[in-house]
Amino acid sequence: MRRVILIVMDGCGVGAMPDAAGYGEYDPASATLPHVSMAVGGLKLPTLEKIGLGCAAPILGLSATNATGAWGRSAIASTGKDSLTGHWEMMGIITEKASPTYPGGFPADLIANYERATGFKALGNRAASGTDIIRELGDEHVHTGNPIIYTSVDSVFQIAAHESVIPLEEQYALCRKVRAVLVPPHSIQRVIARPFTGDTAATYVRTPHRRDFPISPPPHNLLRFLRDAGKTTHAIGVVADLFPDEMFGRFERTQSNAESLTAIQQAVESGTEPFVFANCEDFDMLYGHRNDTEGFARALTEFDAALAKIVSSLHDDDLLILTADHGNDPTMPGTDHTREYVPVLATGAAVRRNAGFLGRSALADVAATVAQWLDVDWKGIGRPLEIFA
């Protein structure tokens, strides 16, 4: 059985795109993986080097010759630099208008809709760190029962509630109600349940029971085509937060690179789904957003070691593709995502040696390539990468 394993190295861009100046002060100077490599005096990533990462971008410590896989970099054709936009484009969806964000908090009409739909008053209503705002407003939430509402630089409506005040299933039901009233112009990408526990402000802590409720993608997308063709998708990591549950035959909301890589390894060794769509989010979540260059480098080294085991476990009919959804350069003063090209690497028995595919126009070529390998009729955007022997 033919399979595709698509692994997204979250935030691992390789250099600013030509339109980067329109996305932020630091975006034109950003180059996540090249800058991380220079900051730490070079990287040793033998598995990624062998596939061709050093050919796709100038990364200190990686050779630009003798790659045995297919390699290149891709532009993001969509408007935006967030995870949902990048992952959607991989599935053949071009986002032409950026999703709304609310750095000054949600407007009065949106909050009024929230309060009518849920029966709760909104506490907070501003852009904030999740850990900070539950310490600040957790006691008031416990006393009043009203959830804490906050956002971030991304297009998200986050709802924090104590698990003993609003049980988990009720929190998820609350998020579904909010999802239903977020209509244009407030078509926010994700409503996120952020449960927490603890007895005092000093002990409040978020639990692993986070759940995301994304906006529904347009019907013309690869996941739907695969489902309709009887090709089951296995989602791993944050992928399960970016598309509705019904798109997947199975999903595992892993919470770290280590958990995601273990799940990928198990899927390669014993899984039966034709398409494994996985995300490793620590690069972005733990290190890019926190300007932790050393941590970013360590995470790359750990990822590369785990990737070696995954590559060695591939079956003859497996195609492994690695890419990213955006940049998140930890060497820049800002902590936001960065508008960058992303690497596109491929390996497997059918991939011809050194089949570089630089100069592609859109990340949606990934969707066309997955469809071609799985023999699914795909009439969407993008064209299959010319990587097969």
| HEC letters along 120-181 | CCCEEEEECCHHHHHHHHHHHHHHHCCCEEEECCCCEEEEEEECCCCCHHHHHHHHHHHHHH
Indicate if 228 and 353 belong to the same structural domain: yes
Whether residue 163 lies inside any domain: the answer is yes
pLDDT tens digits, residue range 112-129? 999 999 999 999 999 998
Residue 355 confidence (pLDDT): 67
Mean pLDDT of 14-35: 96
Indicate if 137 and 190 belong to the same structural domain: yes
Q: Band of the pLDDT at 74, cuts 50, 70, 90? A: very high
Indicate if 230 and 362 belong to the same structural domain: yes
The CA distance from 322 to 67, in Å, is 15
pLDDT tens digits, residue range 238-268? 998 999 889 999 999 999 999 999 999 999 9
Q: Total structural domains in the chain?
A: 2
pLDDT higher than 70, residue 135: yes
Indicate if 237 and 350 belong to the same structural domain: yes
**Model pTM?**
0.92
pLDDT higher than 60, residue 359: no
Indicate if 133 and 181 belong to the same structural domain: yes
Asked if residues 329 and 13 have their Cβ atoms less than 8 Å apart, the reply is: yes
The CATH number of whichever domain residue 205 belongs to comes to 3.30.70.1250
Indicate if 137 and 232 belong to the same structural domain: no
What contacts 348, CB < 8 A, 6 or more positions away? 314, 318, 319, 320
Whether residue 279 lies inside any domain: the answer is yes
Residue 267 confidence (pLDDT): 97
Of the listed ranges 56-70, 350-364, 374-388, the least confidently predicted one is: 350-364
Residue 271 confidence (pLDDT): 81
Residue whose token pair is 């890589």: 261
For residue 135, give its domain range: 108-214
pLDDT higher than 70, residue 360: no
Asked if residues 104 and 115 have their Cβ atoms less than 8 Å apart, the reply is: no
Mean pLDDT of the chain: 94
> In this prediction, what percent of the chain has a pLDDT beyond 90?
88
Between 293-312 and 257-270, two packed helices, what is the crossing angle to 10 degrees?
10
Amino acid at 327: G
Whether residue 386 lies inside any domain: the answer is no
Indicate if 219 and 313 belong to the same structural domain: yes
CA dihedral of residues 314, 319, 322, 326 (deg, nearest 10): -150
Q: What 8-state DSSP symbol labels residue 218?
A: P
> In this prediction, what percent of the chain has a pLDDT beyond 70?
98
Residue whose token pair is 């062998």: 50
pLDDT tens digits, residue range 158-205? 999 999 999 999 999 999 999 999 999 999 999 999 999 999 999 999
Residue 291 confidence (pLDDT): 96
- Count how many Cα atoms sit within 13 Å of the Cα of residue 360 in the half-sphere of its side chain: 29
pLDDT tens digits, residue range 260-313? 999 999 999 998 999 999 999 999 999 999 999 999 999 999 999 999 999 999
Q: Band of the pLDDT at 362, cuts 50, 70, 90? A: confident
β-partners of residue 74 are 342, 360
Whether residue 55 lies inside any domain: the answer is yes
Indicate if 112 and 210 belong to the same structural domain: yes
Asked if residues 197 and 204 have their Cβ atoms less than 8 Å apart, the reply is: yes
Indicate if 254 and 234 belong to the same structural domain: yes
pLDDT higher than 80, residue 228: yes
Indicate if 87 and 221 belong to the same structural domain: yes
Indicate if 237 and 165 belong to the same structural domain: no
